[in-house]
Structure 1
Amino acid sequence: MALQLTDYVLRPNHCQTGKPVRVRSNFFEIQSFPLQVVHHYDINIDQANAPPAVYRKVWKQFEDMGGHGILRGIKTIYDGRKNVFAPKPLQLGPENAGQYEVELHDSDNVGSATKRTGGTFRIRIKKAGEINMDELRRFLNGETRLTPNCLTAIMILDVLIRHLPSMLYATVGRSFFTPQERRSLPNGAEVWQGFYQSARPGIGKMMINVDVSATAFYESDRLPDMTTKILGRRTIDELRRGITDRDRAKLEKALKGLKIQITHRGENNKRKYKILRLTPSAADRTLFQDQDGNEHSVAHYFAKHHNMRLKYPFLPCIVVRKEMFLPMEVCEIVAGQRFMKKLNEKQTAEMIKFTCQKPTIRANKIKQGYSLLQYKDNEYMEQFGMTVKPEMALIKARVLSTPQVSYSSSSQEGTFVPQGGAWNLRGKKVAQGATLGSWSVVNFHAQLPISAIGRFVRELCQTFIDTGLNVINRNPPITHGDPQASVDRTLKEAWLKAGNTAKATPQLILCILPNTGVPLYAEIKRVSDTVIGIPTQCVQSKHINDAKKQYCANVCLKVNMKLGGMNMFLSASQIPFIAERPTIVFGGDVTHPAPGDMNRPSVAAVTASMDARASRYSSAIRVQANRTEIIADLANMIKELLKSFYQACGQKPDRILFYRDGISEGQFSAVLKNEVQQIHAACSSLDKEYKPTITFVVVQKRHHARFFPVEQRDADRTGNCQPGTVVDTEIVHPFEFDFYLQSHAGLQGTSRPTHYHVLYDENKFSADSLQELTYRLCYIYGRATRAVSIVPPAYYADLVAARARFHRRGENWSDTEATSESLDSEQQMASFATVKPELQKGIVHCFFIVKV
């Protein structure tokens, strides 16, 4: 049966342990959907490069005209590209194909250099096939596997629920946005609220997942005001002396490709154009020849021909066609254009404020989304025979019991059960404290008094001692560094001072940073990891004058792990799968460069537990081809980490549990085939007879499932579900082994559960055993005193991959949009430095092996 139903693992059973609770989830049940045959047509519209919104207008116009007689009252749905679906066959004639012309009058076309958005369009329609929708019903009931026909049936429901909203609202992916609820962001952008929707299979039924979403758009503003915002000026008058070449380049980069409309020809003649570039000179110095061959400046031309004296002749003009210049003050940004560039820090901070909504507010907004997305009184859905329940699904969940966390037995209350998913270090000592003898301090903040640094170091040392570290040297030497000068030289000097003072090999450099910016931090990590081979601990200067105990304790946790100590652990009886027999727990992740950057490589990271408590971790890193999702050299990474485990524990692991982050559903098959095979290959390459049992679990955070407690008693203090809430009913896969686990306590906004999906399982986990193990591991993330939202090995892999990005030589971290087009992909990969051998035997936070 397993072979027939799925290539992955069948759900062994449902969760039985923990306290049963009821939660609302943002899924709306599809009560009925078409069970008859749906007719699929291939559509070809002759303008290949037009955006989907234009194709939709063309198809709507075709439909409104009666479809040249072929539709005859049939409501078709269109995906905006190549596919049209109909509840009844279209009358296309004997060959089941036809060709039709549609005239589209679109104001967007006026003044445009191409005819992409208006004119005559030729539509070719051809019958592509018929989809048996009853097969989808059988899949939902666990009677058949997920066939291509089932996937198309799910796509039909997706197109059906998106058809009407996509013609009414700004569409981005699976989300729809309206300007009704928006907020300004710095530098000329604004955030719009929208709604995400997706048709999802559940157990025995189809559901629609509806969520609040948000994205950035350009403000619909006059171009001079937009210029002021982009350049970060308070008023336009600050630009009267002219714009520097650097500001002009920044402005051109921000405006290029934007659509504007002109305002000087009256309300009925607001022609639209795209900005190609800016002129290098101001409007009163930009010259061109008119039709009679006379030379004018743009400012003079507008005064003479439009009786308009420019207010801002000092601003450059925009170029919209060859030799067609427009002064900025007659242009305004067309509304509803998506902001495609990377948000800067200030914009991101404002975006987070806008999107951070308490669970009750988010739940109410999702209910509003139900109305906006028009599931009721929708003539397309009516004709396809689809109805949707008007309330969010009420589903059964369970709250798993909280594990006991253990610190040193010499602590007051060394073993305890955390309340509400978090605790503090008061009265607790780390399980195994490291010894700190040879270290030094580097101060990169010029205005910080030496006395304040001394006080901070004393407070830090006392906290270290109170928390169980052995601090031999309480007066480390202090070096003053210039963030603009050679960080390499400064850290080498600090390393020498540490060694000379303690007459021992340096263990740590504490770095005081002037701000939270990335460039200095990135350079410190590159030098410490790849040049001098010593752990560094960075602290922000704002904490130095007021050294809070809690902050010092958090620093202590990180330092102890970097020096090889252990902060806390779970008793063997709570993690039997790991403790009873030699077991290694892996985490894997691949991080990619910023969207649009096709040059920089991707970075793969794998972490692995090195003890019977799954508390200490080592890691391996590889640089691989841009946007490659599969971990290319996984076999060798696994091999290295298995060898490290053997050296640390004196035995080979009998069992492997691998948590793989960053994989979407569409990649399951490739990952199962490739990565599980590589794990097997790694084991047999060490010893032909070595065959540990393997379980491979995908960890997903990028989804839109949210849970809302029904009863107040089942909520935590932020109104979210309690830590340990697990869902493996109704909204999960019809028969595969997956579950949602909300393992952390809410901090702000609505918590996002993590979705775990088991692709391969030779260890024969029950639902309870895997869910409980996963949840309990979330309590021993070494750097925090709270349960985390994602299982620690996967969390560590994500951190390590992000850290490895700093190992690239010559990277300019101050420019977030910088791309390195001058280097080809091989040079790019070779530009990553190898980590020093001294750090290759440490724990996860300072252990890297980089190979290309």
Structure 2
Amino acid sequence: MGRKNKNKKSEAGGQPEQKPKENPQHQLESQQPGTSQPKQSAPPQESGQKESSQQQGAQQKESSQQQQTQRQQKRPQHQQRPQQQPTRPQEQRPQQQEQQSRKQQQQPQRQQAQPQHQQGPQQSRKQQQQPQRQQAQPQHQQGLQQTWPQQQQSHPQQERSQYQQGPQHQQGPHHQQGPQQQQSRPQQERSQYQQGPQHQQGPHHQQGSVYQQGPQQTWPQQQQSRPQQESSQYQQGPQQHKTPQQHERSQYQQGPQQQKPPQQPNQPHHQQRQQPQQTQPQHQQSPQQTPTRQSSVSHSSSSTSLSSAPSQSSISPGTLGVKGEAEANYLIMDLSKMPNKAYHYDVTITPDRPKKFFRNAFTQFMNTYLPGHFAGFDGVKSCYLLEMLPKPVYEGDVSIADSASRQIQFKVSIKPTDNIEIDLGSLRTYRNDRIYDKPMRALQCLEVILANACQQKGLRVGRSFFTRPNQTLDLDGGYELYTGLYQAAILGDVPYLNVDISNKSFPMALNLIDLLNVLRIDAGRSLDQRGLQSLSAHLRALKVIYSPPPSFGAAPRSYKVNEVSRESASSLSFKIDTGEKLTVQSYFASRGYKLKYPHLGCVVAGSSVKPNYLPIELCSIEPGQAIKKKDGKAQVQKMIKFAATSTDERKRKIMEKLQYFLHNNDILLQKFGIRIDNQFIKVPTRLLRPPSIEYRLGKLVDPRNGSWRNLQYLQTGMTLKKTGHKWAIIYNPSRFLRHGNLLDFSNMLFNEAKRMGINLDSEREIQETRDIVRTLEEYKRKDYDLVIVVIPNYGTSYADIKQKAELVCGLLTQCIKEQTLNRRVDNQLIGNLLLKINSKLNGSNHKISAKSHIVLDHAMFMGADVTHPSPDQRNIPSVVGVAASHDLNGASYNMQYRLQESAKEEIDDMQSISRHHLKVYFQKNNCYPNNIIYYRDGVSDGQFKKVNKFEVSAIRAVCKELRITPKITCIIVVKRHHTRFFPTKPTGDKWNNVLPGTVVDQKIVHPNETQFFMVSHQSIQGTAKPTRYNVLVDDAKFTMDELQMMTNNLCYMFPRCNRAVSYPAPAYLAHLVAARGRVYIDG
């Protein structure tokens, strides 16, 4: 990788750490832990391995000791390793520490020059005088019980040294390597990282252990006080005493799990995370094992051994930033009493509609035909039982009463699925799996069981359960707002239930005549074209309740709306059973009912062969219908305003919903042995320092709370015209827009552009036009660089302008709404417009200062996103947007978009897009990038494999075609989640949010993945939504700190505002590209 390999300065002395010269013999010793073991305690070698002779081992150890002596004399005292104490029972530790401290004060200088961890047959006196019970330990536990050389340490440092080096004492069969055994390169790298800082440290290993050298990059202070060290010890390493969070968990973590020894990770250095863990007495530790992926949970079938204990993760969390704490909307799920197996059955219910009665039909079937059995039903076709039924098939008839007290007959049958057995125990051993290899069948079963507690009290939409509030919020247009509880099972260090407040619009249960008034349609007149379209759009796919006149003697009935007829009830005719043709109005008159609104159309329902025509006045919207249509702009604006609450208010609403649904009182959850805590968990946070922003002439600005003031732009677009960029303003004639306002606006824009360094022509046209598209073509022929278009309130749309200007004319435009100009035009509005204009003219607004950036040698930052049509528009294609930087600062981007199959997430044409971006990069820099950082937005956990298989592979294929080998890092950007953070102390933010730069990479993340949450922006309104990042591919082997710092910095590189955005600029720009492609389609 092309990062600078500078020597890290020490914490106290400020001197660079000296790097020893390479030595083949020294390499062998540093890579093979087994060479430092004394003969009498060496573990037996595995079959097939050669036994090393004492003489050869002694020679190697003597040579290594001399080299280590030279290095140790040069190393400052604060950089030397803490002494690694022999493993003793916990009850002897105080006496041992006192003896060791006395010995250190009297230790001769020659003993400091001879590292004990490389002594061969020479043993320390303490090791020769170990108690008899310690000698009875297995040999592989005693082999590495040496003492590290050190200069006087305090007792707390000794304790940290013991905890820190403890797991390395107990090496299992995989570490029984003699001097002759060779390791592969990846194994050597893992060995170096696992054994602490080695003699041959690369740029990623210069920090060493957190306790040996301190967080050298931590901001703002490098030196930690003793309380800070204790806090760091809690967050970074295994602890002896429980933290409040661990004590909170302890009631769910009983059983043999607590006595399981820590295990040594076997992962690349950039995928290791260490989390707080409980420390047991050392005499209870068992031989160490090193599986491919670390697991801290037994695979035994016993339910007690599969308790939901927190995992010992193999991914190292980041260290940079100011440490803190926040609450997360996660509840601990105790699965320790859950059985190891459940049984999956298929459910068939006929007739297959109406589905809203399926749950009641299934419940009655279980009570009638399988009394005493408890099953979780998903409401459609699957159920889960705790025991296997004796017979293969069960079926029976049930009768359910509808809203009109009519009995509906259903036939219910259940039979086992092909793969009937569900391994619920996998919910306690998932820590070995990748995030896309989660135990999906067990998770689905768990989700069905959890939903059962909310089904009877709420209306389910996806993973949310809504209740109609006592006072609903009118969203206009015939919609009202429902609030609900979102819940999802999350596999973090332990299983959690993620809970959040949910808001959704529902159609008002109105009579259709009242709906016409809401839609501003005159019910006293026939429907015109606009009224017909508005009513049809509102009712399409909804269900209405048809209430026959009393003279019919029939009960109300529900119908699904197909459309609204163009013909009125007085003219719309149909044939009755006798063959006679009647109008709807005359038919109802013959049955004794006179229509009040015969001039209105009818609701058309039923089949196309034999439709039903229902008079509008006799129909009303069925309550509680969840719609899949996209909300209108008015509804979205009101929903956002209502949902914009502080963190304290949001937490209160969540707790109210939890109190309403009462999960733990549900009988099915009790039968499945599930219990849910009632308090949010606390997670450790770190506040990253914001980067310095660099402008023209190297001027720097330090952001505050995620925002900063603009200076003169870093680089402005070049033009060959002597007078500057030719530009004009055009607008439609309007009685609301005055020419004087436009003149003032143009003067302010020109003056501010001049101050910011943008070379605009002082001469510009302000033209009124009735045909904006034709006028754009004229300006293109006149070789104009930019046209500012005032979008009228009615008439020509934004989509029309962009489609014609960019696809037909090839002319840059900057749009501004007429209503915006009618309001006060201030410097903020002008500044925001110029940020966009400078970017469109191929300028760069700002960059991250070199002192704040991770130095990468020729990196190309890519972002990709795919936008999909709404569920009711599946005939419209999806749009792919990919943005890629082509400068050395990551500030200038090139855009590509494609159309592809509707609702398809993986990008089909990734090879062509990547080839284009790489060639543009080459044209700008005369070389190809050495690093490609690819931020992929908009994919779910289940699609990670496809991204790797189709998109990352496509990038690699293009690189192979171009004969280049850049290091590719793929980071998934996830915004569609319900994780929120709630500060435990006031932060000074208006909404009491965590501050910009807050990162969380422990507890709520997958224990075996490089994953973190980050709040990089300041929320303008409401609770801030963090972004989740999953590292899918990492050829560059970034550390967690490097990934988080790079990601946070890129959030300050969005060119359209002088604020940090919620996710990195490449992904944000890709989203805008895909949205622009959607605009082209709409136009």
TM-score range, shorter chain: 0.7 to 0.9
Q: Which residue of 2 aligns with 1:243?
A: 527
**Aligned-pair distance for 1:280?**
4.2
Shift of 1:781: 1.0
Q: Is the 8 A contact 2:377 2:384 kept in 1?
A: yes
Aligned counterparts of 2:1056 and 2:833: Cα–Cα separation in 1 = 9
- Change in CA separation of 1:132 and 1:296 when aligned onto 2, cut-off 3 Å: closer
1:55 pairs, out of 335, 345, 358, with: 358
Partner of 2:842 in structure 1? 564
* Structure number, greater radius of gyration: 2
- Does 1:739 find its partner at 2:1012? yes
Distance 1:227 1:542 in 2: 29
2: CA distance, partners of 1:598 / 1:806? 16
What's the CA shift for 1:655?
1.1
Does 2:888 correspond to 1:612? yes
Query: What does residue 23 of structure 2 align with?
Result: none
Task: Determine the structure 2 residue equivalent to 1:27.
Answer: 330
User: Which of 420, 423, 443 is the matching residue for 1:129?
Assistant: 420
Corresponding residue SS for 1:40: strand
Q: Pick closer, same or farther for the CA change 1:605–1:289 going to 2, 3 Å.
A: closer
Residue 1058 (structure 2) aligns with: 785
TM-score of the superposed pair, with normalisation by structure 1? 0.84
Indicate conservation of the 8 Å contact 2:588/2:595, yes or no. yes
CA distance in 2, matches of 1:325, 1:643: 62
Bigger share in strand: 1
Distance 2:573 2:423 in 1: 66
Note if contact 2:546-2:619 (Cα within 8 Å) is conserved in structure 1.
yes
- Of residues 379, 390, 395, the one that matches 1:80 is 379
* Alignment partner of 2:1035 out of 748, 754, 762: 762
For residues 118-151 of structure 1, give each alpha carbon's deviation from its aligned partner in whole angstroms, at most 9, with x where no partner exists: 3131313226422332232122xx3456797822
Instruction: Give yes or no for the alignment of 1:154 onto 2:438.
Output: no
Question: Of 196, 200, 204, which aligns to 2:486?
Answer: 196
CA-to-aligned-CA distance 1:515-554 (integer Å, 9 cap, x gap)? 398x622222222222222211112223445321111111
**Aligned match for 1:709, one of 980, 983, 998:** 983
Comparing 762-771 and 542-551, the one that deviates more: 542-551
Match of 2:854 among 549, 554, 576: 576
SS of equivalent to 2:317: coil
Q: Partner amino acid for 2:776?
A: L
Distance 1:719 1:358 in 2: 6
Cα deviation code 1:607-631 (max 9, x no counterpart): 1112221111112222222222111
1:351 to 639, 644, 658: 639
Q: Do 1:698 and 1:757's aligned partners in 2 also have CA atoms closer than 8 Å?
A: yes
Letter in 1 for 2:652: N
Q: 1:105 aligns with which of 400, 404, 409?
A: 400
Q: 1:531 to 1:314 in 2, by over 3 A?
A: closer
| Alignment partners' CA distance in 1, 2:550 and 2:975 | 51
For residue 670 of structure 1, report the CA deviation from its aligned partner.
1.1
Residues 445 and 394 (structure 1 numbering): CA distance in 2 closer, same or farther, change over 3 Å?
farther
Distance 1:296 1:601 in 2: 44
Give the Å deviation of 1:293: 7.9
**Could you tell me how far 1:219 is from its partner in structure 2?**
0.9
1:682 is the counterpart of 2:958: yes
Q: What is the CA deviation profile of residues 785-827 of structure 1, one whole-angstrom value per residue up to 9, with x for unaligned ones?
A: 110001000000111111123344xx5x4xxxxxxxxxxxxxx
Give the deviation of 1:680 after TM superposition. 1.0
What are the residue-to-residue correspondences of 1:364-383 with 2, within 5 Å?
A: 364-383=652-671
SS of 2:620's equivalent? strand
CA contact (8 A) 1:585 1:658 kept: yes
1:104, 1:118 within 8 Å by CA — same for their partners in 2?
yes
Tell me the TM-score normalized by structure 2: 0.67
Q: For the structure 1 residues 468 and 323, does the alpha-carbon distance in structure 2 shift closer, same or farther, using more than 3 Å as the test?
A: closer
Distance in 2, Cα, partners of 1:516 & 1:460: 25
CA shift, 1:744, in A, is 0.3
Which of residues 646, 653, 663 is equivalent to 2:929?
653
1:405 corresponds in structure 2 to: 693
Q: Contact between 1:590 and 1:603, CA under 8 Å: does it hold in 2?
A: yes
Equivalent position to 2:775, from 478, 490, 501: 490
Aligned twin of 2:740:
451
Per-residue CA deviation, residues 277-328 of structure 1 (Å, 9 max, x unaligned), is 445443455556777888776556656645x554433333334564754433
Please tell me whether residue 771 in structure 1 is matched to residue 1044 in structure 2. Answer: yes
Within a 5 Å distance, the mapping from 1:83-482 to structure 2 comes to 83-90=382-389, 92-93=390-391, 97-107=392-402, 118-126=408-416, 128-139=419-430, 142-143=431-432, 150-180=439-469, 182-203=472-493, 205-230=494-519, 232-233=520-521, 238-257=522-541, 258-262=543-547, 264-265=549-550, 269-286=555-572, 298-299=584-585, 302=588, 305-306=591-592, 309-320=594-605, 322=610, 325-409=613-697, 414-425=699-710, 428-434=711-717, 436-447=724-735, 448-471=737-760, 473-482=761-770
Equivalent pairs: percent with the same residue?
Answer: 30
Structure-1 separation of matches of 2:554 and 2:576: 25
Is 2:889 the partner of 1:601?
Answer: no
Residues 435 and 1009 of structure 2 are in contact (CA less than 8 Å); yes or no, is this contact kept in structure 1? Answer: no
Please give the alpha-carbon distance, in whole angstroms, between the structure 2 residues aligned to 1:558 and 1:11. 44
- Structure 2 regions of 5+ residues with no counterpart? 1-265, 268-290, 295-312, 719-723
The CA distance in 2 between the partners of 1:639 and 1:109, in whole Å, is 64
Number of residues paired by the alignment? 763
1:698 equivalent to 2:972? Answer: yes
- Cα distance in 2, alignment partners of residues 620 and 44 from structure 1: 47
Residue 405 of structure 1 contacts residue 417 of structure 1 at CA under 8 Å; is this kept in 2?
A: yes
- CA shift, 1:37, in A, is 2.7
Give how far 1:107 is off: 1.7
User: Is the contact between residue 362 and residue 412 of structure 2 (CA under 8 Å) also seen in structure 1?
Assistant: no
CA distance in 2, matches of 1:44, 1:343: 34
Residues 1:514 and 2:514 are matched in the alignment: no
State the one-letter code of the partner of 2:774.
R
Give the match's secondary structure for 1:168: coil
Amino acid at match of 2:717: A
Take 1:634 and 1:295, find their aligned partners in 2: how far apart are those partners? 60
Residue 174 (structure 1) shift: 1.0
The corresponding residue for 2:827 is 549
Distance 1:695 1:718, change over 3 A: same
CA change 1:516–1:540 in 2 (3 A) is farther
What corresponds to 1:832 in structure 2? none
Asked if 1 retains the 8 angstrom alpha-carbon contact of 2:701 and 2:708, the reply is no
Q: CA deviation at 1:721?
A: 1.1
Given residue 509 of structure 1, which amino acid in structure 2 is its aligned partner?
V
Give 3-state SS (helix, strand or coil) of 2:1020's partner: coil
Structure 1: how far apart are the matches of 2:501 and 2:697? 47
Q: Is the 8 A contact 2:725 2:786 kept in 1?
A: no
Q: Which amino acid aligns with 1:402?
A: P
Task: Give secondary structure in 2 for the equivalent of 1:660.
Answer: strand
Contact 1:34 1:133 in 2 (8 A): no
Check whether the contact 1:512–1:539 (CA below 8 A) recurs between aligned residues: yes
Structure 1 48/589 Cα, relative in aligned 2: closer, same or farther at 3 Å? farther
What is residue 816 of structure 2 aligned with on the other side? 539
CA distance 1:149–1:186, shift in 2 (3 Å)? closer
1:18 aligns with 2:303: no
- Aligned to 2:1067, the other structure's residue is in SS state helix
